[in-house]
Amino acid sequence: MKKWFAVIGDPIAQSKSPEMHNSWYAQEGVDAAYIPVHVKKENLEQAVAALKLLGVYGFNVTIPHKTAIIPYLDEVDETAKQMGAVNTVVRLLDGKLKGFNTDGEGFVRSMEEVVGENHRQKPVLIIGAGGAARGIAFALKKYGYNQIAITNRTLSKAEEIVDALGIGNVISFEEASSTLNQYGILIQTTPAGMKYGDMTLPFSVDRMSHEAIAADIVYNPIMTPFLQHAEAIGATVVTGVGMFIHQGAIAYEHWLGNYPDTNSMIAQISGQLGGK
Ligand code: NAP
C-alpha cells in the first residue's frame, strides 16, 4: 500500500520538506507521498489524533508545534525529551506515535560535512537560545564539543540550556560582541536575516576572526548578513541548507531505514534559493 507522510506547522506553505521528501521517494523508488498540512495551535491535539487514525507512516513537526506536540505523543525519545522539542514522528509497528529530534544532529552533520571533525576542541558561541539552539547545543555536546558559550536576548533561556546540558556558560550580547574573536565556531540561530523578516543581527559581529567557522541556520536567503560578513573577511561559511537537508535525511532514515542522497538535494535546494 502507498505510504504517506506529512509536515504540520503554521504557516506551512513555504516549507521545502514536501519537495525534498517527494524527490527522495522518486529517486529511491519508494511508493509514497509527503504532504504539507496547515495545523493551527488550537487544533494540534485533534490533528495528531487524526494523523494517527488515518494511518500516517510518519510526519515532521515545525514551528510553532515542536514543543507543544510532546504531550500528544505515545512515546518520546530520550534525547528529544532532554531537548524539549520534537521535529520527527515515527509510527511504530504497534501503531503508537514516537517523537524524535533530528535538528541538532542535522546541524552537526552539516557543519562537519563542510569543515571536518577536527574542530571539536574549539570554543563555540551559539547566538540565540530558542528551540533550534537547544537541539544544536545537545548535539554539539554529544559529538565532543565541550567549550560552549550561549548568548541570547533573554539570558534566562540561555541559562536553562546550560543547566540542562551540564556544561557551558552564558554571556550577554555586549560580552559576545567584544570577545567574538575568541571563538573558533560561531553559530547564528536567531531569525536575523530571514527573508520577509525585519530582524537585524542582535549585536555587532565586527570582531569575528577570519579564522572562524561561521554557521547560520537561517537558509532563506542562503547568504544572510551574518554569512556575508564572514565571507567578506575570509572566514569559513556554513549555510543553513545543509542542516535542513540532513535533519530531513535523518527523519527519512527513521521512517524508511536508509540515508538518502544529501549532496544532490543540497545542490537542488541551494540552487532554488539562489546559492551555489
Ligand atoms: P525560537 O525557538 O522562536 O527562538 C528564536 C531565538 O531568536 C530566541 O533565542 C530569541 O530570543 C531570538 N530572537 C528572536 N527575535 C529576536 C530579536 N528581535 N532580537 C534578539 N533575539 C531575537 O526559534 P527556533 O525554532 O530556534 O528557530 C530559529 C531560526 O532557525 C528560525 O529562523 C528558523 O527558521 C531557523 N531554523 C532552521 C533550521 C534548518 O534546518 N536550517 C531548523 C530549525 C530552525 P529570546 O529567547 O530572547 O526570545
- pLDDT tens for 114-149 read 999 999 999 999 999 988 999 999 999 999 999 999
CA of 136 to the centre of ligand 1 (A): 12
The whole-angstrom separation of Cα 15 and Cα 34 is: 12
Which pLDDT band holds residue 4 (cuts at 50, 70, 90)? very high
- Bridge partner residues of 98 (DSSP): 75, 90
Asked whether 188 lines ligand 1 (CB < 6 A), one says no
Among 60, 102, 153, 269, residue to substitute to test ligand 1 (most atoms within 8 Å of Cβ): 153
Asked whether 130 lines ligand 1 (CB < 6 A), one says yes
The whole-angstrom separation of Cα 251 and Cα 33 is: 15
The whole-angstrom separation of Cα 228 and Cα 230 is: 5
CA of 100 to the centre of ligand 1 (A): 20
Going from the C-alpha of 105 to that of each of 145, 192, 243, the distances in angstroms are 13, 22, 8
Among 16, 21, 217, residue to substitute to test ligand 1 (most atoms within 8 Å of Cβ): 217
CA of 236 to the centre of ligand 1 (A): 22
Contact in structure between 193 and 222 (CB atoms under 8 Å)? no
Among residues 16, 40, 41, 66, the one annotated as catalytic is 66
| Count helices and strands in the chain by DSSP H and E runs | 10, 12
How many residues appear in the chain?
A: 276
Asked whether 193 lines ligand 1 (CB < 6 A), one says no
Question: Nearest residue CA, atom 1 of ligand 1?
Answer: 130
HSE-CB for 52 with a 13 A CA cutoff? 20
Tens of pLDDT, residue by residue over 217-246, are 999 899 999 999 999 999 999 999 999 999
Q: What is the position in ligand 1's atom list of the atom closest to the CA of 197?
A: 32
pLDDT attached to residue 276: 60
Which pLDDT band holds residue 193 (cuts at 50, 70, 90)? confident
The whole-angstrom separation of Cα 141 and Cα 38 is: 34
The whole-angstrom separation of Cα 205 and Cα 197 is: 19
Pairing type for strands 88-91 and 58-61 reads antiparallel
Asked whether 129 lines ligand 1 (CB < 6 A), one says yes
CA of 133 to the centre of ligand 1 (A): 8
Catalytic residue list contains 66: yes
Mean pLDDT score, 169-187: 98
Q: What residues contact 200, with CB distance under 8 A and at least 6 apart?
A: 192, 193, 225
Mean pLDDT score, 69-80: 97
Q: What is the position in ligand 1's atom list of the atom closest to the CA of 135?
A: 26
Residue spans of alpha helices (H) in the chain: 17-28, 44-53, 78-83, 103-115, 131-142, 155-165, 173-178, 225-233, 241-256, 262-272
Asked whether 265 lines ligand 1 (CB < 6 A), one says no
The whole-angstrom separation of Cα 145 and Cα 154 is: 24
Tens of pLDDT, residue by residue over 12-51, are 998 999 999 999 999 999 999 999 999 999 999 999 999 9
CA of 53 to the centre of ligand 1 (A): 33
Tens of pLDDT, residue by residue over 78-127, are 999 999 999 999 999 999 999 999 999 999 999 999 999 999 999 999 99
Question: Nearest residue CA, atom 46 of ligand 1?
Answer: 154
CA of 3 to the centre of ligand 1 (A): 33
Place of cell 530582524: 199
Contact in structure between 153 and 251 (CB atoms under 8 Å)? no
Using the predicted structure, report yes or no on whether residue 198 has a pLDDT greater than 90.
Answer: no
| 28-37, 141-150, 175-184, 193-202: segment of lowest average pLDDT | 193-202
Q: And the C-alpha cell for 66? A: 515542536
Using the predicted structure, report yes or no on whether residue 68 has a pLDDT greater than 90.
Answer: yes
The one-character DSSP state at 77 is -
Which pLDDT band holds residue 255 (cuts at 50, 70, 90)? very high
CA max distance for the chain: 59
Mean pLDDT score, 53-79: 96
Angle at 256 between CA 242 and CA 40, to 5 degrees: 70
